[in-house]
Amino acid sequence: MFRNVISVALWVGIVTSGSDCLWANLIPISPTTVDALSTTGVSFSYAGTLTQNDTLELTVTGDPCLQLGPAYCTNAAGVVTVAGTSGVGAATTFSGTYGGTTGTWNFGALLMEISGTSTVQIFPADTADGLGSGSPPLSLTLPLTTLSALGFPSFSEVDPTITFILADNLYTDNSGQFNLSQVPEPTTVGFVGVLVCALAGVVRRKRAARNAADKVGAFVYRENRTGLS
Protein backbone atom coordinates (compact mmCIF):
# COMPACT_ATOMS: atom_id res chain seq x y z
CA MET A 1 0.00 0.00 0.00
CA PHE A 2 2.76 2.44 0.98
CA ARG A 3 4.65 1.63 -2.22
CA ASN A 4 1.55 2.42 -4.29
CA VAL A 5 1.09 5.74 -2.52
CA ILE A 6 4.73 6.69 -3.20
CA SER A 7 4.41 5.66 -6.86
CA VAL A 8 1.29 7.78 -7.32
CA ALA A 9 2.94 10.74 -5.56
CA LEU A 10 6.01 10.47 -7.79
CA TRP A 11 3.90 10.28 -10.95
CA VAL A 12 1.67 13.21 -10.02
CA GLY A 13 4.66 15.26 -8.88
CA ILE A 14 6.68 14.61 -12.01
CA VAL A 15 3.74 15.45 -14.28
CA THR A 16 3.12 18.65 -12.31
CA SER A 17 6.78 19.69 -12.06
CA GLY A 18 7.62 19.05 -15.69
CA SER A 19 10.61 17.33 -17.26
CA ASP A 20 13.26 18.92 -14.99
CA CYS A 21 12.63 16.15 -12.44
CA LEU A 22 13.59 13.53 -14.97
CA TRP A 23 16.39 15.25 -16.85
CA ALA A 24 18.52 16.77 -14.07
CA ASN A 25 21.63 14.60 -13.75
CA LEU A 26 23.97 14.17 -10.81
CA ILE A 27 27.62 14.51 -11.80
CA PRO A 28 29.28 11.28 -10.64
CA ILE A 29 32.45 11.86 -8.61
CA SER A 30 34.78 8.93 -8.06
CA PRO A 31 37.25 9.22 -5.15
CA THR A 32 39.57 11.93 -6.43
CA THR A 33 42.76 13.59 -5.22
CA VAL A 34 43.54 17.22 -6.06
CA ASP A 35 47.29 17.78 -5.57
CA ALA A 36 48.17 21.22 -4.20
CA LEU A 37 51.30 21.30 -6.39
CA SER A 38 49.34 20.86 -9.62
CA THR A 39 48.86 23.94 -11.79
CA THR A 40 46.35 22.08 -13.96
CA GLY A 41 44.33 20.23 -11.32
CA VAL A 42 42.60 16.94 -12.00
CA SER A 43 40.21 16.48 -14.93
CA PHE A 44 37.71 13.95 -16.23
CA SER A 45 35.26 13.82 -19.10
CA TYR A 46 31.53 13.92 -18.47
CA ALA A 47 29.65 11.64 -20.87
CA GLY A 48 26.54 13.29 -22.27
CA THR A 49 25.00 16.74 -22.27
CA LEU A 50 25.58 18.85 -19.17
CA THR A 51 23.52 21.95 -18.35
CA GLN A 52 23.12 24.43 -15.51
CA ASN A 53 20.16 22.36 -14.24
CA ASP A 54 22.36 19.36 -13.45
CA THR A 55 23.61 18.82 -9.93
CA LEU A 56 26.73 18.27 -7.85
CA GLU A 57 27.09 16.64 -4.44
CA LEU A 58 30.42 15.91 -2.77
CA THR A 59 32.51 15.91 0.37
CA VAL A 60 36.00 17.43 0.41
CA THR A 61 38.53 16.62 3.12
CA GLY A 62 42.08 17.81 3.74
CA ASP A 63 43.91 21.08 4.31
CA PRO A 64 46.74 21.50 1.80
CA CYS A 65 49.39 24.12 2.59
CA LEU A 66 50.40 27.08 0.44
CA GLN A 67 53.60 28.08 2.22
CA LEU A 68 56.74 26.27 3.33
CA GLY A 69 56.80 25.04 6.87
CA PRO A 70 54.24 23.75 6.09
CA ALA A 71 52.16 26.85 6.77
CA TYR A 72 49.08 28.69 5.52
CA CYS A 73 47.05 25.50 5.20
CA THR A 74 43.40 25.85 4.20
CA ASN A 75 40.17 23.91 3.90
CA ALA A 76 38.26 23.76 0.59
CA ALA A 77 36.71 27.18 1.22
CA GLY A 78 40.14 28.80 1.52
CA VAL A 79 39.80 29.35 5.28
CA VAL A 80 43.15 29.06 7.07
CA THR A 81 43.46 25.99 9.30
CA VAL A 82 47.22 26.28 10.03
CA ALA A 83 48.59 29.80 10.37
CA GLY A 84 51.06 31.31 7.94
CA THR A 85 51.09 34.92 6.81
CA SER A 86 47.47 34.96 8.00
CA GLY A 87 46.08 33.49 11.18
CA VAL A 88 43.74 30.54 11.68
CA GLY A 89 40.18 31.37 10.64
CA ALA A 90 41.25 34.03 8.13
CA ALA A 91 40.83 34.01 4.35
CA THR A 92 42.63 36.12 1.76
CA THR A 93 41.96 36.65 -1.95
CA PHE A 94 43.73 37.17 -5.25
CA SER A 95 42.72 37.80 -8.86
CA GLY A 96 43.39 35.12 -11.43
CA THR A 97 42.10 33.32 -14.50
CA TYR A 98 40.96 29.70 -14.50
CA GLY A 99 39.37 27.98 -17.47
CA GLY A 100 38.95 31.34 -19.19
CA THR A 101 37.19 32.88 -16.18
CA THR A 102 38.89 35.83 -14.50
CA GLY A 103 37.74 36.40 -10.96
CA THR A 104 38.65 36.95 -7.34
CA TRP A 105 39.33 33.70 -5.50
CA ASN A 106 40.22 32.68 -1.98
CA PHE A 107 43.77 31.35 -1.68
CA GLY A 108 43.62 27.58 -1.24
CA ALA A 109 39.95 27.21 -2.19
CA LEU A 110 38.70 24.38 -4.40
CA LEU A 111 37.60 25.53 -7.85
CA MET A 112 35.51 23.71 -10.46
CA GLU A 113 35.96 24.34 -14.18
CA ILE A 114 33.59 23.13 -16.91
CA SER A 115 35.00 23.41 -20.43
CA GLY A 116 33.06 25.71 -22.71
CA THR A 117 31.44 27.64 -19.88
CA SER A 118 33.17 28.98 -16.75
CA THR A 119 34.82 28.38 -13.37
CA VAL A 120 33.36 28.74 -9.87
CA GLN A 121 34.60 28.44 -6.29
CA ILE A 122 32.59 25.57 -4.79
CA PHE A 123 32.61 26.62 -1.12
CA PRO A 124 32.36 30.26 0.01
CA ALA A 125 34.69 31.47 2.74
CA ASP A 126 31.98 32.19 5.30
CA THR A 127 31.24 31.45 8.95
CA ALA A 128 29.57 28.15 8.05
CA ASP A 129 32.86 26.99 6.54
CA GLY A 130 35.03 28.27 9.40
CA LEU A 131 35.68 31.94 8.66
CA GLY A 132 36.58 33.63 11.94
CA SER A 133 36.76 30.30 13.81
CA GLY A 134 39.68 29.16 15.91
CA SER A 135 39.21 25.62 14.59
CA PRO A 136 37.81 25.65 11.04
CA PRO A 137 36.47 22.30 9.73
CA LEU A 138 38.80 20.18 7.62
CA SER A 139 35.88 18.42 5.93
CA LEU A 140 33.27 20.33 3.93
CA THR A 141 30.18 18.83 2.32
CA LEU A 142 28.22 20.25 -0.58
CA PRO A 143 24.63 18.94 -0.48
CA LEU A 144 22.79 18.22 -3.71
CA THR A 145 23.09 21.58 -5.53
CA THR A 146 22.37 22.68 -9.09
CA LEU A 147 25.24 24.05 -11.12
CA SER A 148 23.33 27.30 -11.58
CA ALA A 149 23.11 27.67 -7.79
CA LEU A 150 26.89 27.27 -7.66
CA GLY A 151 27.25 30.24 -9.99
CA PHE A 152 27.47 28.69 -13.45
CA PRO A 153 25.55 30.58 -16.18
CA SER A 154 23.02 28.94 -18.49
CA PHE A 155 24.86 26.51 -20.76
CA SER A 156 24.60 23.23 -22.62
CA GLU A 157 27.83 21.33 -23.30
CA VAL A 158 28.19 17.88 -24.87
CA ASP A 159 30.87 15.65 -23.29
CA PRO A 160 32.55 18.52 -21.42
CA THR A 161 35.75 18.26 -19.39
CA ILE A 162 35.35 18.95 -15.68
CA THR A 163 38.40 20.09 -13.71
CA PHE A 164 38.97 20.52 -9.99
CA ILE A 165 41.92 22.69 -8.99
CA LEU A 166 43.27 24.44 -5.91
CA ALA A 167 43.28 28.24 -6.24
CA ASP A 168 46.74 29.81 -5.93
CA ASN A 169 49.14 32.03 -7.84
CA LEU A 170 52.34 30.21 -6.83
CA TYR A 171 52.28 26.40 -6.67
CA THR A 172 55.95 25.52 -6.21
CA ASP A 173 55.93 25.81 -2.41
CA ASN A 174 52.62 24.00 -1.91
CA SER A 175 52.10 20.64 -0.22
CA GLY A 176 49.22 18.31 0.60
CA GLN A 177 45.99 17.62 -1.21
CA PHE A 178 42.21 17.68 -1.22
CA ASN A 179 40.32 14.38 -1.27
CA LEU A 180 36.95 14.37 -3.03
CA SER A 181 34.26 11.75 -2.52
CA GLN A 182 30.55 11.34 -3.09
CA VAL A 183 28.31 9.85 -0.41
CA PRO A 184 25.68 8.46 -0.72
CA GLU A 185 26.01 6.70 -4.04
CA PRO A 186 24.85 8.71 -7.11
CA THR A 187 21.90 6.39 -7.77
CA THR A 188 20.59 6.94 -4.23
CA VAL A 189 21.04 10.68 -4.44
CA GLY A 190 19.40 10.74 -7.87
CA PHE A 191 16.32 8.93 -6.58
CA VAL A 192 16.08 11.25 -3.58
CA GLY A 193 16.41 14.25 -5.89
CA VAL A 194 13.56 13.01 -8.09
CA LEU A 195 11.46 12.26 -5.01
CA VAL A 196 12.00 15.75 -3.58
CA CYS A 197 11.27 17.34 -6.93
CA ALA A 198 8.14 15.22 -7.37
CA LEU A 199 6.84 15.95 -3.89
CA ALA A 200 7.34 19.64 -4.59
CA GLY A 201 5.09 19.17 -7.60
CA VAL A 202 2.42 17.56 -5.43
CA VAL A 203 2.57 20.50 -3.02
CA ARG A 204 2.23 22.98 -5.90
CA ARG A 205 -0.71 21.01 -7.30
CA LYS A 206 -2.52 21.02 -3.95
CA ARG A 207 -1.80 24.72 -3.46
CA ALA A 208 -3.18 25.53 -6.92
CA ALA A 209 -6.30 23.47 -6.21
CA ARG A 210 -6.79 25.21 -2.88
CA ASN A 211 -6.39 28.64 -4.50
CA ALA A 212 -8.92 27.69 -7.17
CA ALA A 213 -11.39 26.52 -4.49
CA ASP A 214 -10.92 29.78 -2.61
CA LYS A 215 -11.70 31.76 -5.76
CA VAL A 216 -14.85 29.71 -6.38
CA GLY A 217 -15.94 30.24 -2.77
CA ALA A 218 -15.34 33.96 -3.03
CA PHE A 219 -17.38 34.10 -6.25
CA VAL A 220 -20.30 32.20 -4.70
CA TYR A 221 -20.18 34.48 -1.68
CA ARG A 222 -20.33 37.55 -3.91
CA GLU A 223 -23.26 36.06 -5.86
CA ASN A 224 -25.13 35.38 -2.64
CA ARG A 225 -24.47 38.89 -1.42
CA THR A 226 -25.79 40.25 -4.72
CA GLY A 227 -28.93 38.15 -4.40
CA LEU A 228 -29.58 39.50 -0.87
CA SER A 229 -29.24 43.16 -1.80
Q: Is residue 11 part of a domain?
A: no
Q: Is residue 194 part of a domain?
A: yes
- The parent domain of residue 190 ranges over 21-200
Asked if pLDDT for residue 56 goes beyond 90, the answer is yes
Q: Is residue 1 part of a domain?
A: no
- The domain that contains 30 carries what CATH number? 2.60.120.430
Q: Is residue 104 part of a domain?
A: yes
- The C-alpha angle with vertex 147 and arms to 120 and 183, in degrees rounded to 5, equals 100
Indicate the pLDDT class of residue 24, thresholds 50, 70 and 90. confident
How far apart are alpha carbons 10 and 137 in whole angstroms?
A: 37
Query: pTM of this prediction?
Result: 0.74
Q: Work out the number of other CB atoms within 10 angstroms of the CB of residue 98.
A: 19
Q: Is residue 109 part of a domain?
A: yes
Over the range 37-70, which residues count as b (16 or more CB within 10 Å of their CB) and which as e? eeeebbeeebeeebbbebbbbbbbbbbbbbbeeb
Q: Is residue 229 part of a domain?
A: no
Q: Is residue 220 part of a domain?
A: no
Q: Is residue 225 part of a domain?
A: no
Asked if pLDDT for residue 220 goes beyond 50, the answer is no
pLDDT tens digit sequence for 145-198: 999 999 999 999 999 999 999 999 999 999 999 999 997 654 444 444 445 454
* pLDDT attached to residue 22: 53
What is residue 162's three-state secondary structure?
strand
pLDDT tens digit sequence for 103-155: 999 999 999 999 999 999 999 999 999 999 999 999 999 999 999 999 999 99
Number of domains in the chain: 1
